[in-house]
Each structure stands twice: as structure tokens, then as C-alpha cells.
Amino acid sequence: MSRKDSGDAQHIGQAISQLLSSYHLKTKFDEANLIGSWEKVVGKPVARRTRKVYIRNKVLFVQLDSPAMKHDITLHKSQILEIFHKEFGKDVVTEIVLL
């Protein structure tokens, strides 16, 4: 009998997701991944001007050290949020607040 014929084989990603869910860690894992992807989403120039990024109650808080960057991010907040929703789902972050 080959491995493919086994009825309880599952994709490693599914197994990890189930494990995280069973230990109630999935939300924290998704939040950490989202924060880790900040630079990839907004680019290096913005990431270098970012002082803090954290999530509380599904709200992404971002502290920038440049008023100009803060203004630029304000203009693109909905697009950034949409990227995060596509990548991580709508349950991880519902809003972005700039500090």
C-alpha cells in the first residue's frame, strides 16, 4: 500500500494549521506573520521609517518617524489592508491606525 492510498494523510500546512488551532495559537501565529511581512508589503523605505508595528484587538498599529511617510501610508491604508486580507484573511486585521 502506497502512502497516497492512506486515508489519513494530509498536507503538512493543514496539519500545522490544525495544531495551531487546537492550541489556540493560530491568531498569534497569523499576527506574527503579518507583522513580519510589513516590510514586504510597504517596501524598504517605509519599513526603515517604521518605529513600531503591533496588533491589538485586530487593529494594526504602526508608528512612523516621518510625517511625510505617515501621510503617504494614510493615502494607501485601504490598499495595504486589502493586501493583508488577501494574504492572511479578514479575521487577523480589520483596521490600520497610524501613530
Cell numbers at residue 21, please? Answer: 488551532
Does the pLDDT at position 56 exceed 70?
A: yes
Q: Provide the domain count of the chain.
A: 1
**Does residue 48 sit within a domain?**
yes
Q: Where are the beta strands (DSSP E) in the chain?
A: 50-56, 59-64, 95-98
CA dihedral 72, 77, 80, 85 (to 10 degrees): 180
Q: What CATH number is attached to the domain comprising 81?
A: 3.30.70
Q: Average pLDDT over the chain, rounded to whole?
A: 85
Domain that holds residue 87: 26-98
What's the pLDDT band for 38 if we cut at 50, 70, 90? Answer: very high
Average pLDDT score over residue span 42-66: 92
Indicate the angle between helix axes 26-36 and 67-88, nearest 10 degrees.
Answer: 140
**Does residue 18 sit within a domain?**
no
User: What single DSSP character describes residue 94?
Assistant: S
Window from 49-53, 71-75, 87-91 with minimum mean pLDDT: 87-91
In 3-state terms, what secondary structure has residue 93? coil
In 3-state terms, what secondary structure has residue 70? helix
Answer whether 0.85 is exceeded by the pTM: no
